[in-house]
Amino acid sequence: MKRLHNIFASATLDFDYICPECVDVYIRKSCMSVKSIVGTIDDQIEWLNKLKRLFIDGEKLFEGEQLWKVC
């Protein structure tokens, strides 16, 4: 559960650093081709959509119940 939380928190925090200038620097300095980077992003989008569906399904499954509380 902690690992999943860290993945979510990282994606949320890192979003603030995405800008055209950062992407330009990354493209120039990366060993990966843009095509490879885009493929990796597509894979991550697919994974995040799967994770989103799992959370939506979980919410529907436990609607009205509170099995635990995380603060």
User: CA dist 31 to 22, 27, 28, 34, 69, Å?
Assistant: 15, 8, 9, 10, 43
Q: Please tell me which residue, 35 or 56, carries the higher pLDDT value.
A: 35
pLDDT digits (tens, 9 = 90+) for 14-27: 666 778 998 899 89
Provide mean pLDDT across the span 33-57.
Answer: 90
pTM given for the model: 0.62
Domain boundaries, the chain: 19-53
What tokens were used for 11?
């994606």
For residue 71, the model assigns a pLDDT of: 56
